[in-house]
Amino acid sequence: MSADFSLSRRLFLGGVSAAAAMSAFPPASHAQNRAAGVPLRWLNGTPGASTGTAFGVPWPKAALPKDTPLTLVADGNPVPVQSWPLAHWPDGSVKWSGHAVSGRVSGSNFELRPGSPAAPGVPVTARREGGAVVLSNGTVEVHVATSGPVVLPQIRRGARSTATGGTLVLELQDKPEDSDSPAHQQFSGVVDAVEIERSGPVRAVVKVTGTYRSGGRSILPWTLRVYLGEGDESLRLVHSFVWDADENRDFVRGLGLRVSVAMIDEPHDRHLRFGTTEGGVWGEPVRVLTGLRRDPGEAVRRAQFEGTATPPVEQWDERVRNGYRELALWNDFTLFQESPRHFAVWKRTSSRGSWLKHAGRGERAAGFGYVGGASGGLGFGMRDFWQRFPRSFDVRGAAGETAEVTLWSYAPQAAAMDMRTYDTEAHGLGLAYEDVQEDFGSPHGMMRSTEMTLWALESTPDRDAVAALSRTQTDPPQLVADPRTYHAAGVFGRWSLPDRSTPARSALEDSIERDVEFYAGQVEQREWYGFWHHGDVMHTYDPDRHEWRYDVGGYAWDNAELGTDAMLWYVFLRTGDARTFRLAEAMTRHVAEVDTHHAGRFAGLGSRHAVVHWGDGAKEARVAEAYTKRFAHYLTADELLGDVLRSSLQADETLREIDPLRAVLPPQTEAPARLRIGPDWYALVSNWMTEWERTGDTRWRDRIVTGMRDIATFPAGLFTGEAGGAVGFDPATGHLTNFNRGDFEGSRNLGMAFLGEQILWEVLDLVDVPEFRQTYLDFARYGQAVPEEKIARYGRDFDAGLFPTIYSRVSAWAGEQLDDPALRHRGWQEFRTDPQGQPWPTPTQVDGPAVPAPVEEIPAPSVATNDAAQRILATITLLAVAPNEAP
């Protein structure tokens, strides 16, 4: 590794001291500042409350030297910001910088620019102290255990211990829900290791790892990151687990975080609060003094409603004062989000009494709650609460000295989680498009994460505050840059800003907006929500049933088949649209977690589209590839997504045993592994490129160059190989081997179908391999050329099996590189004459007896997400590489 990258690599790996972290960007006088200020804004308007945020900013090559300090200005005033490098250009300059601000930062207009950052009033710190790591910011102190079953021993605010005994809980049963008498088992999350990833001064991050254990059994490896910002009264928790249990005998009944809260106030001054997505609040006390036969007085009633301390008992109506201790004490509360359309609040006096399950109801809970009193208590939140149903909040013992609060990321009130495939029989690739292979439909290695927030509050929040805090869970604060900033930085390959300079181009832009609007509506209408489903969309539509093919083999869940996730990110980059950002973010998290194997025999690979997300027999590097996950990581500076990017590197070794062509070609012994140039090698290239730019370790660059040079020696270049480009691959060196058979004979070339063209364009901007550039140009120029041109170049005519829409931008890119207007025009013609490249008509509504409830659908004989994704990607790219030839 070169010396230029040693500092960034040390920072990236985490665990550095505060002094080392600050040295990443030394005083301004030590840097040659060539970077201009970058304007920033809130993604969806100024938040009413904030829990802090992290964000990434791109920089053009050579614009920001690696040792440049950065300052953040909010509405003209410097505010504390913590900065670190996320990625570098090959010359060592910063490509992406990561930043964090605390919840104390307010303002509407921001600018990030070179300069010494403002110092926080009280820096946040993370230090090892005895058997714990202690995070402190002058407001809140958080203790994180370094071993044992209690992960968060204590959360304090001042002299008060707000919460204690934080444990990760797992409940399993050994049979599915419809079986007789399943046996239940309780597991606790036991800490194995703790790492201080960042120790301030604006944000501290501690990473805790462990497994769930019970009776000598250890399962579901988990990670919990604890975040604390300077001055914040809240801490953020991101929990994730990897599935390694037996889906045939392990059925998750409940999964959550449990803490204890001291209840100090009188029962009538203790309060429960839950927020809704509409800005509403459910709020009641433990001892209800309103609605009685006798009126305690307007001041008492108002205090109970507002959550403030009631007047002294002596000031109450005498009849209430003498009998209030006989009133019911409501001890236990549950908010259960059973579906994306309904939640209910339950309460009871004790386990000896029945639940009142009509205590409250609504459509969507926001994922915020509170338990405590006028003297303080605990706020608790969970992001994507209703979207990832079934979820719930349990509060037990609110009438006693200590309340137990459980944030259930999977609610025990629902049916147990069933991870088995949907059928025990294969249903055929020929008819149902279902690629089933024995023992390949396993969820082993899949991940799911949950983001939670805990607040140490000094009093019961009023109803407006509950609504504002609820919005931090439904619409978390996020700083973003202007589309022109992202575009000018030259990141993420070749893409365009919106172009409405002519009626025809406006029509193209309208079609993009209409398609994104349609999918956003389909997510809502078809209720594509749930613990494992949230973020995904369906693959292909069945117009006869007026339903997506949710139950037909490989036509069901999309799993970002042809770049649906990238399509959404490019739309956001060029528009800044908040809804598109949220759709893209949810899809990235879904694909990165649910569709990707992070451990086990398929580590580093993902699952192709299927009825069950992980059920398909095709395990593909392109599903798990880093390229499409980079958008979210670099825009949000999220550490878990950083882990996911590194996890993709496991694919190299996995391919030794999992041959992507095992069902198409006979076994081979000429190379350690076999893969297709596209999409397999391209996916690996994206993984190596990402690790290289994040760490500066040139070993990953060298693997890319090795493969490029090998391909350049193949007589057929990128047309090489049977089954779409089969070649040998050595995971130890990155070398590719030409099997020298079937050149030009690929029946269907998918090389560029999964962002292959963007991966190679970005790599070619980073490394100079002239012979490979020429090989790629030949592929782009001749792939859809007329027979005479192919014969003149290769001595033969052949059908490369290219999809016109997918490869239209490749043809146009060749025209750009060769300054050939005819080639650029050819690219547009390939796109505009391909039926799959035509914009969809305006959706129509279907209602009446044809459907259970009114829905929208596209009135076309064939509607597939593949077509929408590739059509939008082609439009965005063609406008970038061949703007003058656009209609």
Instruction: Convert the pLDDT of each residue in 446-496 to its tens digit.
Output: 999 999 999 999 999 999 999 999 999 999 999 999 999 999 999 999 999
Three-point CA angle 639, 120, 454, nearest 5°: 50
Q: Tell which residue, 368, 433, 396, 395, has the closest CA to residue 51.
A: 368
Helix axes 865-881, 804-818, angle to 10 degrees: 10
Exposure string (b/e) for 363-383, b if CB count within 10 Å is 16 or more? ebbbbbbbbbbbbbbbbbbbb
Chain mean position to CA 87: 19
HEC letters along 462-495? CHHHHHHHHHHHHCCCCEEECHHHHHHCCCCCCC
**How does DSSP classify residue 567?**
H
Sequence letter at residue 873 = L
Which 3-state string (H, E, C) describes 723-770?
A: HHCEEEECCCCCCEECCCCCCCCCCCCCCCCCCHHHHHHHHHCCCCCH
Q: How far is CA 150 from CA 187, 191, 210, in A?
A: 12, 8, 11
DSSP for 149-165, please give it. S-SEEEEEETTEEEEEE
- The predicted-structure confidence for 142-201, as pLDDT tens digits, reads as follows 999 999 999 999 999 999 999 999 999 999 999 998 888 899 999 999 999 999 999 999
Residue 27 has pLDDT above 90, yes or no: no
Residue 52, phi-psi category: left (phi > 0), alpha (psi -120 to 50), beta (remainder): left
pLDDT above 90 as % of the chain: 87
Q: What per-residue confidence (pLDDT) applies to 796? A: 86
Contacts of 352 (CB under 8 A, 6+ apart): none
Burial 784-816 (b: 16+ CB within 10 A, else e): bbeeeebeeebeeebebbbbbbbbbbbbbbbbb
Tokens standing for residue 711: 């391909």
557: which 2 tokens? 């869940």
Contact assessment for residue 815 and residue 882, using Cβ atoms and an 8 Å cutoff? yes
Number of neighbours of residue 27 by Cβ within 10 angstroms = 10
Task: Give the Cα separation of 163 and 153 in Å (integer).
Answer: 8
Q: How far from the centroid of its chain's Cα atoms is residue 98's Cα?
A: 17
Q: Give the mean model confidence (pLDDT) for residues 25-32.
A: 35
Exposure string for 134-160, b = 16+ CB within 10 A, e = fewer: bbbbebbbbbbbbeebbbbbbbbbeee
As a dihedral over the C-alpha atoms of residue 523, residue 528, residue 529, residue 531, rounded to 10 degrees, the angle is: -140
Distance CA 784, CA 807 (A): 8
- Report the sign of the C-alpha dihedral through residues 39, 123, 636, 526, in that order: negative
Per-residue pLDDT of 210-244, as tens digits, reads 999 999 999 999 999 999 999 999 999 999 999 99
Give the model's confidence band at 31: pLDDT under 50 very low, under 70 low, under 90 confident, else very high: very low
Q: Are 303 and 310 in contact (CB under 8 A)?
A: yes
Read off the DSSP letter of residue 118. B
Q: pLDDT category, 426, cuts 50, 70, 90?
A: confident
Q: Is 398 helix (H, G, I), strand (E, B) or coil?
A: coil
Q: Are 94 and 85 in contact (CB under 8 A)?
A: yes
Mean pLDDT confidence for 103-125: 96
Question: In this structure, are residues 538 and 857 in contact, taking their beta carbons and an 8 Å threshold?
Answer: no
Q: How far is Cα 191 from Cα 132, in angstroms, rounded to an integer?
A: 11
Closest by CA position to 490, among listed 63, 23, 817: 63
Number of neighbouring beta carbons within 10 Å of residue 428: 12
* Amino acid residing at 592: A
Tokens of 469: 């805090």
Does 649 have pLDDT greater than 80? yes
Nearest to 744 by CA among 792, 782, 788: 782
| Rounded Cα gap, residues 654 and 19, in angstroms | 40
**Rounded to the nearest 5°, which phi and psi values hold at 742?**
70, 20
**CB atoms closer than 10 angstroms to residue 847:** 10
What sections of 103-241 are H helices per DSSP? none
CA distance linking residue 390 with residue 799, whole number of Å? 50
Dist CA 849 CA 299 (whole Å): 55
Predicted local distance difference test score (pLDDT) of residue 752: 85
The backbone torsions φ and ψ at residue 52, rounded to the nearest 5 degrees and listed phi first, read 85, 170
Q: Which amino acid type is present at position 344?
A: A
Name the helix (H) or strand (E) containing 449: strand 447-457
For residue range 251-299, list pLDDT tens digits in order.
999 999 999 999 999 999 999 999 999 999 999 999 999 999 999 999 9
CA distance 595 to 605: 9
564-597 confidence digits (pLDDT tens): 999 999 999 999 999 999 999 999 999 999 999 9
Residue-by-residue DSSP string for 195-240: EEEEE-SSEEEEEEEEEEEETTEEEEEEEEEEEEETT-SEEEEEEE
For residue 311, the SS3 value is coil
Q: Which residues pair with 596 in a beta bridge?
A: 606
Report whether pLDDT(397) > 80: yes
The encoded tokens of residue 700 equal: 């990953």
In Å, how far are 99, 450, 456 from 53, measured between CA atoms? 8, 17, 18
CA atoms within 13 A on the CB side of 258: 21
pLDDT at 748: 64
Average pLDDT over residues 297-322: 96
Q: Residue 723: is its pLDDT beyond 90?
A: no
